[in-house]
Chain A
Amino acid sequence: MHLLSIDWWFILEKLVLIVIVISLSLVIAMYTTYAERKVAAWLQDRRGPNRAGPWGILQPLADGGKLFFKEEIIPLVSSKWLFILGPSLAMLTALLTSAVIPWGTSLHLFGKDVPLQIADVNIGILYIFGVVSLGVYGIMIGGWASNNKFSLLAAIRGASQMISYELAMGMALIAVLMLTGSLQMSVIVQNQVEHGWHIIYQPLGFIIFFICALAECNRTPFDLPEAENELNFGYHQEYSSMKLGFYLFAEYINMFISSAVMATLFLGGYDIPFVNETQWGLPQNLLAIIGFAVLMAKIFFFLFVFIWIRWTIPRFRYDQLMNLGWKGLIPLSLANMVITAIVMLWKSKT
């Protein structure tokens, strides 16, 4: 089916994939809010939401419905256009990142190989970093447009925090990129399938990346932009209804995506640990689905760790946060990078 020399099948296939991936990240973000409340309750010897539906599994729907019925307030003194742009941008950037993550090997459908990745671009990592750093605009614009001291303070905090942690994050990643020799996500996963997971070679890099991911997602202990006790909920203080919902939701989508990125970069993506699944002789489609399930299991593990950390440690003070970022993580990640380079050079010589 070639019309105007455009491969329409290709476009259809990608469209279907995009719809699936976006709805998947929305549903998982929805149920992460539920998991957050449940795990929080369990860690504090409580029971958590259990009234809406069996075990409370309809709770996220109830929460969403509540947000929809709330009054939509746009402050008179705010700049209206930017005020609406803020949450939209936060949501948009959160959803964009999922495009380059390889969700599995390829499925064989209708006589075609369909790779389970929306775009296998050769600068996958750079794309993720670019989009993630755009995410700070959601906070910045929202906080600025609210015309509120607290929101503005929170926005400034969020921006400076993101900038300082993105540096360490990127440098922790360079060591991984040196091991792989490619920025392409699928190549990085393939490299891990063949040589073992990157977390074995880069434990320090993984810890740095994980800490920075917490900071990038504005999760505790780095949730300074929405510090409840000092900034009255920070940048989304003036927001109500679904605009607030977008902000909160974008945070959970970010959590999901950064878990996926960490699983892909350090835990081997869709690779099944300890076995060589290609020798099982299973059909290709089944293997792809198993691989996808394994990736999901890794993502859920990370999501749990995110929640677990949130309900364990208190928030950093602002100067502590900056100290850790600039004086702790950046030198560490630099050292990690240099040591990796030396070891690689030494190995190639012998």
Chain B
Amino acid sequence: MVQLTQKAKLVDRRQMSWLERIYLWNILKGMMITLSHLFKRKATINFPEQKRYFAPVFRGLHVLNRDEEGRERCTACGLCAVACPAEAITMEAAERLPGEEKLYREEKYAARYEINMLRCIFCGLCEDACPKDAIYLSQTFAPSNYSRKGFIYKKEDLLIPNPLTDPEDYKKALGDRPAKKINN
């Protein structure tokens, strides 16, 4: 018979020998296997204190970016929502009023920006689509929540800390991500 895979093993259907029939020897062998695991490296890590290494290309939770002066980059163009294959992004645009120049980078901004983390498939197409480097996927993942509503992330959940008022948190959130080239 031609074997389909190399992993296939023939089942041994020989009669059990006396030693095998009394089981004690086989049980002893099994116990030695479990005993050897006592000294093996643990597969678990102490999670909250220790974290696994994520590759730089890891696609985790979304972050709404700001520029160096702390202004929101998003212009609510809607390209990310169009690109999103899971239709997880909802936004509402608003016009920047005089006096809000320090808050928003351009004349139009997102008044409401929501991502449904239960719909999101973390493909990163929104990051690719964004012409303003306003959204990117960070290296953390969405924490658990008690209700479905809790998984709809609002703008304040997504925004990166302000680099002017909160420079340390901003740096931490930014990590070692290189800035994307944008045409203004």
Q: Are A313 and B37 interface neighbours, CB within 8 A?
A: no
Interface size in chain B (residues, C-beta < 8 A): 15
A317 CB within 8 Å of chain B: no
B-chain residues with CB within 8 Å of residue A46 when the two chains form the complex: 42-44
- The B7-47 residues at the A interface (CB cut-off 8 A) are 24, 27, 30-31, 33-35, 37-38, 40-44, 46
Chain A residues within 8 Å of B27, by CB: 309, 312-313
Asked if A207 is an interface residue, CB under 8 A from chain B, the answer is: yes
Q: Is the CB of A311 within 8 A of B42?
A: no
Size category of the binding interface on chain A = 10 to 19
Q: CB of A308 within 8 A of chain B? A: yes
0/1 interface trace, chain B 116-141, chain A, CB 8 Å (1 if under): 00000000000000000000000000
A309–B31 Cα distance when bound, in Å, is: 7
Q: Does A47 contact B (CB under 8 A)?
A: yes
CA distance A245 to B38 in the complex (A): 29
Cβ-defined contact, A308 with B37, below 8 A: no
Measured in the bound complex, the distance between the Cα atoms of B43 and A313 in whole Å is: 22
B35: chain A residues within 8 A (beta carbon): 43, 308
CB distance from A219 to the nearest CB of B (A): 14
Judged by a CB distance under 8 angstroms, whether A42 is at the interface is yes
Query: How close is A94's CB to chain B, nearest CB, in angstroms?
Result: 26
| Chain B hits for A47, CB < 8 A | 42, 44, 46
In the complex formed, the residue of B with least CB distance to A221 is B27
B37 touches A43 (CB 8 A): yes
Residues of A within 8 A of B42 (CB): 42, 45-47
User: Cβ of A284 < 8 Å from any Cβ of B?
Assistant: no
Of chain A, the residue at the smallest CB distance from B35 is A308
- Shortest distance between the CB of B18 and any CB in chain A (Å): 13
Does A23 make an interface contact (CB < 8 A)? no
Assuming A312-B27, A313-B27, is B34 touching A45 (CB within 8 A)? no
Are the CB atoms of A308 and B43 closer together than 8 Å?
no
A45 touches B24 (CB 8 A): no
Contacts of A207 in B (CB 8 A): 24
A44 and B46 in contact, given A207-B24, A308-B31, A312-B31 (Cβ under 8 angstroms) = no
The 8 Å CB contact of A45, one of B31, B33, B44, is: B44
Distance from B137 Cβ to chain A, minimum over Cβ atoms (Å): 30
* B30 CB contacts on chain A under 8 angstroms: 312-313
**Which residues of A273-317 are within 8 A (CB) of B?**
308-309, 311-313
Is residue A79 within 8 Å, beta carbon to beta carbon, of the partner chain? no
Q: Which residues of A contact B33 (CB under 8 A)?
A: 312
Q: A50-B46, A207-B24 are in contact. Are A44 and B31 (CB under 8 A)?
A: no
Q: Which residues of B contact A309 (CB under 8 A)?
A: 27, 31
B37 to chain A, nearest CB (A): 5
Tell whether, in the assembled complex, residue B44 and residue A43 are in contact, meaning their CB atoms are under 8 Å apart.
no
- Which 6 pairs from chain A and chain B are nearest by CB? A45-B43, A312-B34, A43-B34, A47-B44, A312-B31, A46-B44
B interface residues, Cβ below 8 angstroms from A: 24, 27, 30-31, 33-35, 37-38, 40-44, 46
Inter-chain pairs besides A46-B43, A47-B46, A311-B34, 12 sampled, C-beta below 8 Å: A42-B37, A42-B42, A43-B35, A43-B38, A45-B41, A46-B42, A50-B46, A207-B24, A308-B34, A309-B27, A312-B27, A312-B31
A-B CB contact pairs (8 Å), 26 listed: A42-B37, A43-B34, A43-B37, A43-B38, A44-B37, A45-B37, A45-B40, A45-B42, A45-B43, A46-B43, A47-B44, A47-B46, A50-B46, A207-B24, A308-B31, A308-B34, A308-B35, A309-B31, A311-B34, A312-B27, A312-B30, A312-B31, A312-B33, A313-B27, A313-B30, A313-B31
